[in-house]
Amino acid sequence: MNIYVGNLSFKTTEAELRQTFEAFGTVSSASVITDRATGRSRGFGFVEMPNADEGQRAVEAMNGANLGGRDLTVNEARPRQPRQAGSPRA
Domain range summary for the chain, segments of one domain joined by + = 2-76
Q: What pLDDT is recorded for position 75?
A: 97
Q: What CATH superfamily classification does 2-76 receive?
A: RRM (RNA recognition motif) domain (3.30.70.330)
**b (16+ CB within 10 A) / e for 54-90:** bbeebbeebeeeebeebebebeeeeeeeeeeeeeeee
With a threshold of 0.75, does the pTM exceed it?
A: yes
Q: What pLDDT is recorded for position 79?
A: 84
Q: For residue 71, give every residue at least 6 positions away whose Cβ sits within 8 Å of its Cβ, in sequence order, or none.
A: 7, 64, 65
Q: Contact 9/69 with Cβ under 8 angstroms? A: yes
**Per-residue pLDDT of the chain in tens (90 residues, 90 and over written 9):** 999 999 999 999 999 999 999 999 999 999 999 999 999 999 999 999 999 999 999 999 999 999 999 999 999 998 877 777 665 555
